[in-house]
Amino acid sequence: MSPLSAAALLLCTAVLLLYARRVRRFGRACHPRLGATPGSALLPGSVVEAFYWAFQAPGRWLARLGVDPDVVTFLALACSLASVPLLATGHLAWGAVAVGVGGILDALDGMVARLRGRASPGGAVLDAVLDRLSDSAPFAGLVVFYRSSVAAVLLLLAALVASSLVSYARARAEACGLRLPEGIMRRHERIAYLVLALLIAPLIPGAAVPYPLLLAAVTLIAVGGFAGAAILVARARAALACPDPGAPPLSPTPGSPLERAAR
């Protein structure tokens, strides 16, 4: 494992330990945006809460500096796109840092917008479109890296498609006025698995195909993404077939899954 990978893992561990200490002393941090179930069957909610809690301070700092939320959004995209050449050339640790920093900045842009009173549907649309580019970037880099293995390339393409399906299925459901359970393989979950896999993949270099741990994580993203999208579609169809007559129609609001591209 490279020193960079070790440092990144130590930093993540420190965040989790500090949040655990905070919970023991003051209880769980309350973040309405995360909802009642921020995690999933695969990713504990406490992990999501820990990192969202850690992002509050830099979010407030950027807001006090008067940073435009769109600038943060484009910086998030730039970091994610930087992962393409890094991963294509086999620099997994640096690629993980690029993907991780891009994900952090993507979380911060919404915080900055709300703190500065700049949240708007226009910003949400921009964020949603750029998120799809950011989602594709690491998989594009890995496709180049694994170009000699047809099976690995197909697996990476499947994970890319599955990632988009989860976001699109939830966005379409929100557009129909539905508010569905969170489900699995949302964007922050996909980023967490991919970054972790990129950091620890060198522990098992592999023989015929390099870094089997990384391909295992990609398989998880692909299978979980397709399953998550299928569940969302089934729930949306069932809800639309039997609407609750007493429920008022829902519309996208700042902070809703539609506004944030249905992570």
Give the pLDDT of residue 59.
Answer: 92
Tokens of 251: 């519309």
209 or 153: which leads in pLDDT? 153
Q: Where do we find the tokens 């500096």?
A: 65
Residue 207: its pLDDT value, please?
A: 73
Q: Give 243's pLDDT tier (boundaries 50, 70, 90).
A: low
d(CA 5, CA 67) in angstroms, rounded, equals: 30
Average of per-residue pLDDT values in the chain: 86
Q: What is the pLDDT of residues 13-36, one digit of tens each?
A: 999 999 999 999 988 887 777 766
Domains and CATH numbers, the chain: 42-241 (1.20.120.1760)
pTM: 0.87
Catalytic residues: 131
**Residue 148 predicted with pLDDT over 50:** yes
Alpha carbon distance 198, 192 (integer Å)? 10
Q: How high is the pLDDT of residue 251?
A: 43
**According to the model, what pLDDT value does residue 186 have?**
87
According to the model, what pLDDT value does residue 250 have? 44
Contacts of 131-134 with CB under 8 Å at 24 or more apart are 131/106, 131/167, 131/187, 131/261, 132/164, 132/167, 132/261, 133/77, 133/80, 133/81, 134/76, 134/77, 134/80, 134/81, 134/102, 134/103, 134/106
Per-position DSSP letters for 88-135, written without gaps between them? HTT-HHHHHHHHHHHHHHHHHHHHHHHHTT---HHHHHHHHHHHHHHH
Helix axis angle, 121-145 to 187-200, nearest 10°? 30
Cβ atoms 140, 194 nearer than 8 A:
no
d(CA 15, CA 50): 7
- pLDDT tens digits for range 41-61: 788 888 988 999 999 999 999
Residue 108 has pLDDT above 60, yes or no: yes
The dihedral region occupied by 185, where left means phi > 0, alpha psi between -120 and 50, and beta the remainder, is: left
Q: Which of 26, 63, 69, 33 is closest to 48 using CA atoms?
A: 33
Mean pLDDT of 56-84: 93
In this prediction, residue 192 has a pLDDT band, given cuts at 50, 70 and 90, of: very high
Whether 244 has a pLDDT exceeding 70, the answer reads: no
Residue in the structure block whose two tokens are 């697996």: 155
Token pair listed for 160: 């890319």
